[in-house]
A and B are shown apart, each in its own frame.
Chain A
């Protein structure tokens, strides 16, 4: 099978990364795929940075306060609000994907008929994307009120 797969294994005319980066042509599920990837990579980068910034704790109070001066700024807050939004979207959409990947919420096969609309692209699972976006917006609003509202 290895040799069969490697035959004709050229990249001619494959869309490449452009195929991933343009989410606009195929509806909400494609947009959700694009956002899930983007938010995942962004959150991984944030996570690595977060583990590094919190390690300043071991160098004492001065190092910790110096780190806070860098991060507790308006831009730092905006970045954190983005993190809040992306993590909410990634989690909620991720749960929707776990269900759909397991074939749940997609309906059952049936005899197709004109206009041949796809059963799997139903509103029941599609609404999960919208719920994720709405929850993400709410979380970002709440995060803004905490970070910029002051306590």
Chain B
């Protein structure tokens, strides 16, 4: 997939996901701090309650997608600079995409299952 996109397009995605992630992570941290307080926000029932709040789970999913793309693309950039041969570069591209998808899938599973917990 990285072969289908020009490097300039990938980097634009990197910058945009970085800025967007900053906003959503900031909201996430503020929510943890004030609802109702940091230590109480970690109590199991309060955590589950959050997962029943649709805007909040959209926020979490956004964080997951944006930070995963930004983070693994950053790692791809570092790895590309370390070695330059076709097997390595292809391997890095595949690893980046696979790791991003795997992490998003794993986190989304948590969100979906948790949003069904504590009901009824």
Kindly state whether residue A65 has any CB partner on chain B within 8 Å. Answer: yes
CB neighbours of B35 from chain A (8 A) = none
A33 to chain B, nearest CB (A): 12
If over half of A's interface residues share one DSSP class (helix, strand or loop), that class is named, otherwise mixed; here it is helix
Q: Contacting B25 at CB < 8 Å: which of A55, A87, A98, A146?
A: A87
Q: Contacting A98 at CB < 8 Å: which of B18, B68, B71?
A: B18
A65 to B44, CA, bound (A): 8
Closest to A92 in B: B22
- Whether B64 pairs with A58 at a CB distance below 8 angstroms is no
Number of CB contacts from chain A to chain B under 8 A: 70
Q: 1/0 per position for B45-88, CB-CB distance to A under 8 A?
A: 00110010000000000001001100110110010001010000
- Whether B22 pairs with A40 at a CB distance below 8 angstroms is no
Q: 1/0 per position for A36-73, CB-CB distance to B under 8 A?
A: 01001101100110011011011001001100100010
User: How many residues of chain A get a CB closer than 8 Å to chain B's CBs?
Assistant: 30
Kindly state whether residue A95 has any CB partner on chain B within 8 Å. Answer: yes
Kindly state whether residue A109 has any CB partner on chain B within 8 Å. Answer: no
- Whether A37 pairs with B110 at a CB distance below 8 angstroms is no
- Whether B48 pairs with A51 at a CB distance below 8 angstroms is no
- Whether A57 pairs with B78 at a CB distance below 8 angstroms is no
CB neighbours of B18 from chain A (8 A) = 91, 94, 98
CB neighbours of A78 from chain B (8 A) = none
Given contacts A72-B42, A91-B25, 10 further A-B contacts (CB under 8 A): A41-B74, A44-B75, A51-B103, A51-B107, A57-B113, A57-B117, A87-B25, A95-B22, A146-B38, A151-B37
Closest 5 CB pairs of A and B: A44-B71, A58-B113, A55-B110, A61-B44, A151-B37
The 24 sampled A-B contact pairs (Cβ below 8 Å) are: A40-B71, A40-B75, A41-B74, A41-B75, A44-B72, A44-B74, A47-B67, A52-B106, A57-B47, A57-B51, A58-B113, A58-B114, A64-B44, A65-B44, A72-B42, A91-B25, A95-B19, A98-B19, A101-B15, A146-B33, A146-B38, A147-B38, A151-B38, A151-B40
